Amino acid sequence: MRRFVFFALAAAIILFSVIVNSAPAPKKVAYITIDDGPTLNTPNIIETLKRHKAGAAFFVLKDRIETYPDYIKMMECGGFTIGLHGVSHNGNIYAAPTSPLNEMNETNEALYKLLGRRSMVVRTPFGSKPNLTDRQRELLETAGYKIFDWNVDPRDSIGKIVDKEAVLRNLKKGLEDAGPTAVILLHDRKSTADNLERILTLIEEAGYEFGTLDEDTVF
Whether 157 contacts 123, CB under 8 Å: no
**Nearest-approach distance from CB 15 to Zn ion, in angstroms:** 54
**Nearest-approach distance from CB 16 to Zn ion, in angstroms:** 51
In angstroms, rounded to a whole number, what is the distance separating the alpha carbons of residues 35 and 37?
6
**Interface pattern 85-124 for Zn ion (x via CB under 5 A):** ----------------------------------------
**Nearest-approach distance from CB 35 to Zn ion, in angstroms:** 4
**Nearest-approach distance from CB 14 to Zn ion, in angstroms:** 56
Pick the closest to residue 175 from 144, 209, 147 (CA basis): 209
In angstroms, rounded to a whole number, what is the distance separating the alpha carbons of residues 188 and 36?
6
In angstroms, rounded to a whole number, what is the distance separating the alpha carbons of residues 134 and 148?
15
Which of 34, 203 has the CB closer to Zn ion?
34
Residue nearest to Zn ion (CB): 35
Please list every residue from 158 through 197 that binds Zn ion, using CB under 5 A.
none
Which of 35, 214 has the CB closer to Zn ion?
35
Please list every residue from 27 through 56 that binds Zn ion, using CB under 5 A.
35-36
**Nearest-approach distance from CB 157 to Zn ion, in angstroms:** 8
User: Using the rule CB under 5 A, which residue among 125, 154, 174, 211 binds Zn ion?
Assistant: 125
Size of site (CB under 5 A) for Zn ion: 3
In angstroms, rounded to a whole number, what is the distance separating the alpha carbons of residues 114 and 65?
8
Residues lying near Zn ion in the complex (CB under 5 A): 35-36, 125
